[in-house]
Structure 1
Amino acid sequence: MTSTTTLTGALPAEYRARLTDLAREVSFEAGDRLFEEGRHADRFWIVRTGTVALDLRVPGRRAAVIESLGHGELVGCSWHFAPYAWQLGAEAVTPVRAYEFDAETVRALCAQDPVFGHAVACWVGRVVARRLHAARVRLLDLYAPYGSGTR
């Protein structure tokens, strides 16, 4: 991911500190599911170590891996937008250590401080835009007659 979508590149140090003050450290083993498409999005993560794969259910086929995420990257965007339902699934590819955030707490902080909230919204929006593009390219690679044409 580009530096403007990782936590370090996306938010000024003051805002990163405010956000990380709310975090709790968690770990996942390889193969653990962080969340499933369609379920309630009540938290999100920032990867510290390891790799998480974002996937999309495809009827009649295995889930398509859309993107792999690593250090400093946001896992989960759906927590920020009503109706707070996961649009993708996520699985730990390797052992993962991450910071976990309660979505309701972060949304409340964003509402209390509109400047902070704007910064977080812009960060999440950039991530969503990048993920949408990645999903489009990946699905074209998998299912279009001539792929995405980006290779």
Structure 2
Amino acid sequence: MTSTTNLAAGLTAGQRERLMRVAREVSFESGTRLFEEGLRSDRFWIVRTGTVVLDLHIPGRRAAAVETLGHGELVGWSWYFPPYVWHLGAEAASPVRAHEFDAEAVRAMCAGDPEFGRAIADRVGRVVAHRLHASRIRLLDLYAPYGSGSAL
């Protein structure tokens, strides 16, 4: 786990508590698809146990695994930006227990409390930047003649 992909890492204790008030506990069996690229994004998760693999659809090929997420990490950022459509897919690589959040409720909390909203925006933005970089490296490793030249 890196703090870059951990939503709660940049929040104050009060902000974390407020966010957790709208959480519900969920679990997924290994192999369960959490979401598919291109479909509506209306929720997100913070992993408690297990691992989730993010993947990228590549026409004519098998989906490329971009990143594996574990304890404390944010699964899903597309809920934060219109048009609220998933940019990647996700699958439970092992049994997963997570906190699930309703995106509309969290966006309303952000709109109602600018300080909370800025903290969430900062963390989600960091996750997006990290995932973009991870996707780029993974695709270079798969398709560039000499790979990316760096390891994740």
TM range (shorter): over 0.9
Q: CA deviation at 1:12?
A: 1.4
C-alpha change, 1:12 and 1:4, in structure 2 (3 Å) is: farther
Tell me what 1:48 maps to.
Answer: 48
Distance across 2 between alignment mates of 1:4 and 1:87 = 18
Equivalent residue pairs, number: 151
The alignment partner of 2:107 has SS state of helix
The alignment partner of 1:90 has SS state of strand
Q: CA deviation at 1:5?
A: 3.1
Distance across 2 between alignment mates of 1:5 and 1:51 = 14
Q: CA deviation at 1:7?
A: 3.2
The alignment partner of 2:3 has SS state of coil
Tell me what 2:78 maps to.
Answer: 78
What are the Cα deviations for residues 6-32 of structure 1, in whole angstroms up to 9, with x where unaligned? 134221111111101100000000000
Runs of 4+ off more than 6 Å: none
Q: CA deviation at 1:63?
A: 0.2
Tell me what 1:129 maps to.
Answer: 129
What are the Cα deviations for residues 119-143 of structure 1, in whole angstroms up to 9, with x where unaligned? 0000000000000000000000000
What are the Cα deviations for residues 36-94 of structure 1, in whole angstroms up to 9, with x where unaligned? 00000000000000000000000111000000000000000000000000000000000
Matches within 5 A, 1:101-116: 101-116=101-116
Structure 1 spans left out of the alignment, 5+ residues: none
Residue 7 (str. 1) matches residue 7 (str. 2) = yes
Q: CA deviation at 1:4?
A: 4.1
The alignment partner of 1:98 has SS state of strand
TM-score for both structures, normalised by structure 1? 0.97
Q: Is the 1:141–1:148 contact (alpha carbons within 8 Å) kept by the matching residues of 2?
A: yes
TM-score for both structures, normalised by structure 2? 0.97
Q: RMSD of the alignment, in Å?
A: 0.9
The alignment partner of 1:150 has SS state of coil
Distance across 1 between alignment mates of 2:5 and 2:54 = 16
Q: Is the 1:7–1:16 contact (alpha carbons within 8 Å) kept by the matching residues of 2?
A: no
State the identity %: 72
